[in-house]
Amino acid sequence: MNGESGQQISAAAASGVPTERGVRRTWAIVRSTFHWLLCAAYFFPVCAFLVLLGIFIDPRGNDGAQRMLCRATMKLAGAKIVVRRAPGFDPARTCFFLVNHVNLFDPFVLYATIPQFLRGLEFESHFRIPVYGWMMKRFGNVPVPDNNRPSDLKRMWRLTRAALDSGVSLAVFPEGQRTVNGRLGPFKDGVFRMALQFGTPIVPVSMVGAFEFHKKTSWLLKPGRITVYLHDNIETKDLRKEDFSALRDRVHAIMSRPIDDAINDSQNH
């Protein structure tokens, strides 16, 4: 920027004339507020109705309505969801779905795109939230203990095995926290140990565009496309304990590839 341009911008700011950056910021705030209000106006009444249904009907009975809720919520938030299924993805298998954790819309995106009957592993502290916690328990989510006491871990393993044995696939965020830069962080070990012991297939899932849509560090929404990559099933039943690290690293590499490619492509343009 030359001195003349800088003086012009400074003069515009001093005179109260909106700069291009200020206009974009104002538009982003207005647009985001509009989409949040749309989501709230739809989500809360419909969700309350589904919670009431959940008192009398097994959650499997209104699975279609729950998926409709998630798809409509994402559409009202301004997200266009595209699904890419790998040739080796089996939509009929009960699996662990390992997903990059981006924002609070992640469960909506997953439930709108994964065809299996799906629930998730969720921190036990969330189950103590009024109403929400009851809903998570009723809908069959598995609590992850807030501490590592052996008794609590055994209970989590028992509940996880029971869910898988009943045909419930489980979504897991192996990073354990949301990304702050869009890239995939290091994985925790627990889900890989369970997959090896139970012999349950793993499906790596990459959500691309979710970070640009909504970042952890901001309330603003940027409407756009979110592409969900459902990668090939990875079998674990013939793997040994010694294969643990290799399995974890393999899944991390598969999930990272489309995420890193999209970020690098964006930076090069």
Q: Is residue 54 part of a domain?
A: no
Q: Please give the span between the terminal C-alpha atoms of the chain, in angstroms, as a whole number.
A: 20
Residue 59 within a domain: no
Segments forming the whole domain that contains residue 206: 79-267
Is residue 46 included in any domain, yes or no? no
pLDDT at 8: 47
Q: Which of 188, 143, 187 is closest to 162 using CA atoms?
A: 143
How much is the pLDDT for 9? 46
Q: What was the pLDDT predicted at 257?
A: 97
78: left (phi over 0), alpha (psi -120 to 50) or beta: left
Query: Does residue 69 lie within any of the structural domains?
Result: no
Q: In three state form, how does the secondary structure of 47-108 look?
A: HHHHHHHHHHCCHHHHHHHHHHHHHHHHHHHCEEEEEEECCCCCCCCCCEEEECCCCCCHHH
Residue 40 amino acid letter: A
Q: Is residue 159 part of a domain?
A: yes
Question: What is the number of structural domains in the chain?
Answer: 1
Per-block average pLDDT, block size 10, for the chain (269 residues)?
49 60 92 95 87 78 88 96 97 96 94 94 80 73 82 88 94 94 94 94 98 95 97 94 93 97 87
Q: Which one, of 94, 258, 125, lies nearest residue 184 by Cα?
A: 258
Residue 58 lies in a domain: no
Q: How far apart are alpha carbons 98 and 252 in whole angstroms?
A: 9
21 in a structural domain: no
The answer to whether residue 55 is domain-embedded is no
Taking the C-alpha atoms of residue 118 and residue 188, their distance in angstroms, rounded to an integer, is: 21
Q: Find out whether 31 and 223 touch, Cβ atoms under 8 Å.
A: yes
